[in-house]
Structure 1
Amino acid sequence: MSKPLIHKGRGAVSNAAGRYEKQRSQAEDDGWGSLDVDLPPLATEIIVDASKSVITYNDSPDIPFDRSVNPYRGCEHGCVYCFARPTHAYLGYSPGLDFESRILVKPDAATLLRAELGKRQYRCAPLALGTNTDPYQPLERRQRTMRDILEVLRETRHPVGIVTKSALIERDIDILAEMAGQGLASVCLSITTLDRRLARTLEPRAAAPERRLETLTRLSEAGVPVGVMVAPLIPVLTDYELEAIVSAAKRAGAISAEYILLRLPLEVADLFEEWLREHYPLKAEHVMNRVRDSRGGKVYDPSFHRRLRGEGVYADLIAQRFGLIRKKLGLERGLPPLRTDLFRKPAAGGQMSFDFFE
C-alpha cells in the first residue's frame, strides 16, 4: 500500500519523477509498518543557477507584458496548484516536492539585468516580476536578490510590475514608493482564500491571508498603486469567496482586481488531485468535475485567452460575478500605466551616463 509523503510545511504530497525521466519509484509498506513513522522535516536545498541571461521575453496575446525576470526557479511557498511546477522537470527534478525544496537561485541576477538593460538594442517596456515563481519567497530574506534588482531598476528608471504572495515586499517599500512617485512601479498581491486553515495546506509557506491584506494597506499608504489578483480561483473550494476577497482587498487599499481560474497543466493536474484526495476527499470529485466543466471536458486547455478564464457555463458565471463585484467597488480602471520615457541606460562599470542628469 502506498503512502503520501506528508512533510509538515510542504504543499505537494508526493515527489514523482518529471515527465522526461525514464525511471519511476514509489514507497511501499513492507508489512512491518516502515511507512508509519513520521517523516523528518524536508530541508530546502539552494542550487546556484548559472544562467547567462535574466530577462525572458514572450509574445503571448493574453498577458499585458512581453518581458519578465524570475530570480528563482522553484518556490518555497509550496502552493500545490502552482502552474510553474512543470518547469522543474526541464531541470531533471520533480514538479512535486523538489519544486518547493530544491530552489535554483540567481545571485548575479542584478548584474545580468544591468548588462541587458545596457545593450544598445534594448528598448524599454514594463518589466514583470513574480510571473512564474514568487520573487519574495522565504529565501529572499537571506538572498536579497530582489532588493538588488530593484536598485538597478530605480537607478535606470525602468518601470516594473510585481506580483507576490509575500509580506516580505514591505522591506523594499522605500524603493517602490520612490519609483511609484515617478510612475514606475505597481504591485499586485495574490490572494487565493481568506480561510487560514485552507491556506495553511494549500500554500503552506506563503503569508497568511490577513497578512497579505495588511501588506496591501502598507503599500497603498506609501503611495504604491496596488491591486489584488484572485489567483487561482478554485472551483468549489474557494469560488464562493470571490466577492469577499475583492471586497477585503478594496478596503485594504486595492485600486484594481483581476482573477485567474485554476490552471492544471501537465504534472500539476495529478499533484493537485492527489492533494485534494488527501486533504479534502469528500470534495475532490466535485472540484475536478467543475474543473473539467470549465476546460471543455479536460483538466486543462492551454489555448490563449481560454487558459486564464476557462469556458462554458461555470466559467461564464464566474466572469459575470467578477464583473459585477468589480463594477460595484469601482475597480474597473485597473492599475495606472507605467512610464517608459524616463528610462536611462546604465553605463559600463555601473556608473550612469551623463544624460541621466539631463
Structure 2
Amino acid sequence: MSTQSIWRAVARQAEVWARLAVVQEFAARLPRNTSGTSAGVRGRLQRMQAGGMNIGGKPLRAGSSVRYARAIPFPGVEDDCSEGDWTAWVRTADRVEAAHRQTIAWLRSRLPGYPMIPAPQISADTALATTEFTYRLGWHPQERAAGFQFRSCPPTAASILGADRQQEQALAETARQMSTALMGSPEWSRLARAREALDGEARAALGAARTRLRRRLSPEALDACEPALAVKRDQYRRVVLSEELEALSGPAREYADAFDGADLLVETAASDVFGQLALYGAVTRLAGIRDVDLDPGQSRSVHFSVDDEIWMVPGQLVRLDDDLITEVVRLTEVSLSLTPADGARLRVTGEILPGSDEAQIV
C-alpha cells in the first residue's frame, strides 16, 4: 500500500509529537501506558475499550470516542473515577485530537483537485462526512472551506498543542515531509490519473450517485432504518455507499476506487500508524507465535496465534518472531478462543505494512 518514504515520514512526525507536553499528558493515562491499576481514568478507558470503543487502536480519536461511549451504560464506570480527573483528561484528549484532525485535513488538501472532489464517499452524511458515530476518520465541510490548500503547514495545530517556537518549526517541517511522501505515493498518482480521465459522462455519473446518496442518507431515511443505535446507523451508511459505488462503471468507478485508495492511505499512515508510534512508542515484539498463515495472492494479510496473557487490540503495531515476515504488522482483528487441547489463545489477523522493515520503524 505504501512506500518506505511514507513510514520514515510517519516515524519522524511521531517523534516530534511524542516530545510535546500535552501529548505526554494525554498518553500517560492510556491503558497500555499505565500498569498496575484498573481505577480512575485508566479503568474507565478500559471499560470503554471492552465495550467496543477502540480507544487503544485509534487513540488520536479518543476525545470523540469517549463522548460516544458515555452515552452507553458501562457498569461501575461512574464509581471509581474522579470527575475532575476525567474532565481534565478529556480536555487534553480534545486538544490532541483537534490538532491531529487539522493536520489530517491539511494533508487531504494536497489531494489532486482539492477542494473540488466529486467522490461520492464524501457526500453529505456518508460514513466519511457524518457528524455521528463512524469508524472512519471523517471529512467535514468546514475543513474544505478553510483554504488549507493555500497554507504551507497546518495553521493552528502547533498553537493548539502548546508548542514552543522550536517545536512549532518541527511540527511544520514534519507535516511537510509527510505531505511530500504521500504525494509521491502510487495511490496519489492513481487518483491524479483517474481525475484527468473523467469526462462529462463520468462526472455526471458521480454527480448522480451523490444525489442518490443524499436522498438515501437523509435524516428521514436513516431514522426509518435505525432511529437510535449508532453502530447500526453506521452500518446502514456503509451498505448504502457500497451499493452506489458498485453501480458505477468506467472512469467514474476508477475515480471512486482511486479516491478510496488515497484517502485510506492518509487515514492508515498519517493517523492510525502515526498515532500508535506517537503515543505508545516502540512497536510491540511478539515471540513464540504459532500457526502463522498468509493469505494467498497479493494480499498483505497474516493470521497467527499467541498466548492469551498478551493484551492486544486492533490497530496495535507488532513485529513477529518469524523469519518470513520482517515488516511491521498492524493488527486488524483479535479474537479469543478456548479449546480443551490449547486452553485460551488469541487468534490475530494483521495487515503487513510493506516497506516498513527498510524504513526501520522500531
TM-score computed with the length of structure 2 as normaliser: 0.25
Structure having greater relative contact order (Cα 8 Å, sep ≥ 6): 2
Between Structure 1 and Structure 2, the one with more helix by share is 2
